[in-house]
Chains A and B, each alone.
Chain A
Amino acid sequence: MKTEISAWEKVEIARNPNRKTALDYIENIFEDFIELHGDRGFRDDKAMVCGLARIENQNFTIIAEQKGRTTKENIERNFGMPNPESYRKAIRFMKQAEKFGRPVITFIDTKGAYPGIGAEERGQGEAIAKSMFEMAKLKVPVIAIVIGEGSSGGALAIAVANKVFMMENAIYSILSPEGYSSILWKDSSRYKEAAEKMKLTAKDLYDLNIIDKIIKEPKKITNENFKKITENIKKEIQSEIAKMSSLTKDEIVNDRYQKFRNIKCLKEIGEEENVIKK
């Protein structure tokens, strides 16, 4: 596939502080976006942006992990690392989407859920688990789009979707390559090698059936070519929503359920390579 960008280079592209963030995508893809705030329990966590928007006459619920575009904004948004109340806010909007029959579009871009004292006190693990649980049973179509870093449970928490799109140079993984090499090889300096091994690129994840569509992007996204990219995403969203519109509520839930139920990469013990994988 044309000029190869290495997995580690993709990590660097995905993490580039100038990379387009969720709000950039939202503003370009949708019309009439209105952000709505709060988890109704503790506070409004700005690492997650939720709201309503439309494409033509189709309304959507938007749930997005949001990194800052400036240092000041990054501090406000905790560098896009959600606390538990982010996931609880997301759950609130998922349920409303179901109530009003709106599809849900999520944008994934996080280094991971925030590892802090308060996050643990307020049940980070429970919040992520509950988010996946609620998302799994939503009776409306859900599309998740990995736009930058999709790292660990903090990313997956809002990615239990019927269809998962991924930007060509985004990454999606169990954790950072640095963390991976330090845990698995006890050597954090082998992060580049880890990045190559982890299958965190869109191409690798497509081959593993973890994602459903790769959104093409040039090596460098500019304001000019970004229009074209978001126009493409808009078309893909419309096309997938149109396909799912013929499904009943139960079929939508079942379609999503089967997608995750079938992620196995398993074989019978002792069998050579008679893969049961999807």
Chain B
Amino acid sequence: MVVDKIKKRETKNVNNKKSKIDIPIGKWVKCEACKEIIYKDFVRENLSICPNCGHYFRMHIGKRLELVIDEGTYKKFDLQIETTNPLGLEDYPKKLKALREKTGLEEAVACGTGKIKGEDVVICIMDSGFLMGSMGAVVGEKITYAIEQAIELKLPIIIFSVSGGARMQEGIISLMQMAKTSAALTKLDEAGLLYISVLTDPTYGGVTASFASLGDIILAEPGAMIGFAGQRVIEQTIGEQLPEGFQTAEFLLEHGFIDKIVERKDLKDTIHKLLILNKGGKT
């Protein structure tokens, strides 16, 4: 029910050729916020932020790693898994295979270890380019495995969320990943380890209602849309239009559900500072 809101936003920029995420193919890109046509390299050099209006484009895993992890320090966990297609949908395995080939991603999340300004961390980064970052069994298992590795290695964990919610194609199995990841976080909590959850645009549904909301510290990017129910579902339920700014990161900050909004250029420094400040009583 959450995905429809995101779908709606995506249809706005159909003239962006095929890819709606991050930077589309071709030399030019249209900003969905200010509608300006901008030279692609300018956006890329500007941390995937529109140089005209400051709108945040969605970031691929590779760009996100570049942004926060020290160069050459990322080591991904070796977990070669895929779904058994529990609902037996005919086209789902084919769709996954095609997506893997097209995006070069294994799934909607990448997990591993790396350094942030020299500090060791476990890092998970979701990608909206893979079935809208939806959580099926692979995403649930990889996040859970990453949490277990953080406990094993006694490291803090940082999860960058972007997701439409639980993945429809795997039905109840996707739903159960919410419980699985949340339960894994109880073990991290008992081990006294730090979890920083970073919410990026958009984070919805079963991801908001599980690990993304359970960080010791929850950060968000400016303007990111974050919520449980999708906006269209809410509008249909209550029969009225939603107020301006509803479900933005700023709205969540105001209502006390996130700790801080951090600009993309400051993310690495802020996370590093938080890692240092959370190292027990003394540094």
Which residues of A approach B to under 8 Å, CB–CB? Answer: 112-117, 119-126, 128-130, 132-133, 136-137, 152-153, 156-157, 159-160, 172-175, 179-180, 182-184, 197-200, 205, 208, 210, 256-257, 260-261, 263-270, 273, 275-277
- Classify chain B: how many residues form its interface, as a range: 35 or more
Instruction: Tell whether, in the assembled complex, residue B228 and residue A119 are in contact, meaning their CB atoms are under 8 Å apart.
Output: yes
Q: Which of A115, A117, A132, A182 contacts B182 (CB 8 A)?
A: A132
B interface secondary structure, majority: helix
Given A124-B229, A125-B228, A128-B228, the answer on whether A197 and B87 have CB atoms closer than 8 Å is yes
Closest Cβ neighbor of B148 among chain A residues: A261
Q: Which residues from 216 to 248 on chain B have a C-beta closer than 8 Å to any C-beta of chain A?
A: 227-230, 233-234, 237-238, 242-243, 246-247
Residue of A nearest to B182 (CB): A132
In residues 188-230 of chain B, which contact A (Cβ within 8 Å)? 190, 205-206, 208-214, 227-230
- Show 10 A/B contacts (Cβ-Cβ < 8 Å), sorted by A: A112-B1, A115-B230, A125-B209, A125-B228, A137-B183, A152-B1, A174-B171, A174-B175, A199-B86, A269-B82
Report A178 CB to chain B, min CB distance, Å: 10
Whether the pair A267, B1 counts as a contact (CB closer than 8 A) is: no
Task: Report the bound CA distance from A248 to B185 in whole Å.
Answer: 22
User: How far is the CB of A213 from the nearest CB of chain B, in Å?
Assistant: 16
A265 CA to B170 CA, complexed, in Å: 9
Docked pose: A266 CA to B171 CA in angstroms: 14
Residues of B within 8 A of A116 (CB): 229, 234, 237-238
Chain B positions within 8 Å of A112 at CB level = 1
Segment with Cβ contacts to A, from B12-20, B32-40, B137-145: B137-145
Closest to A205 in B: B172
B99 to chain A, nearest CB (A): 13
B173: which A residues are within 8 A, CB to CB?
208, 210, 263-265
Which chain A residue lies CB-closest to B168? A184
Residues of B within 8 A of A (CB): 1, 3-4, 80-84, 86-89, 106, 137-138, 141, 144, 166, 168-180, 182-187, 190, 205-206, 208-214, 227-230, 233-234, 237-238, 242-243, 246-247, 251, 255-257
A125-B209, A184-B169, A266-B83 given as contacts; is B229 within 8 A of A261 (CB)? no
Alpha-carbon distance between A120 and B203 when the two chains are bound, in angstroms: 13
The residues of A that contact B83 with a CB separation of less than 8 Å are: 265-267
Which residues of chain A are near B238, meaning CB under 8 Å? 116-117
| Contacting pair A117 B243 (CB below 8 A) | yes
CB of B214 within 8 A of CB of A136, answer no
Task: Determine if A173 and B172 form an interchain contact, defined as CB atoms under 8 angstroms apart.
Answer: yes
